[in-house]
Amino acid sequence: MRTALWPGDHTAEVDEHLRSGATPLLALVLVAERDDARLGGFIEIGLRAYAEGCESSPVPFIEGWYVDADLRRTGAGRALVHAAEEWARANGHREIASDVELTNEASIEAHRALGYAEVERLVCFRRDL
């Protein structure tokens, strides 16, 4: 499922990211289980020192959220997000954040449907030196 959410081989990229110390603390992974016990989705929550539009620190952050296509619009994604939010509340947090690629309209609409407010749009740049 992680490969479905983030296609391609990212092994070297993830290894470098872990070595750099830039990785937020992965605090929670929840899964959506199908009736036949197979997995149908997941949500990963990290703790970040900062998230756009947030006032508290650390901030629970939705690092990854994926639901298999056949389970979308069935409430599985909503249940994952609500469970993550409940975990955040139970651990003393008062806000939660997420981000979405600018072109991912389905995810933008899913976030809005769950009551998430868009706080900023961002285009990131880099250059080899």
How do residues 18-42 score in pLDDT, each as one tens digit?
566 555 677 899 999 999 999 999 9
Rounded alpha-carbon distances, angstroms, from residue 29 to 5, 34, 69, 117, 119 = 15, 16, 20, 23, 25
pLDDT recorded at residue 128: 87
**Separation of alpha carbons 106 and 44, rounded Å:** 18
The residue behind tokens 């092994």 is 11
pLDDT recorded at residue 8: 73
Low-confidence ranges of the chain (pLDDT < 70): 2, 10-11, 13-24
pLDDT recorded at residue 114: 96
**Separation of alpha carbons 58 and 69, rounded Å:** 32
Look at the domain 2-113 and name its fold.
Aminopeptidase (3.40.630)
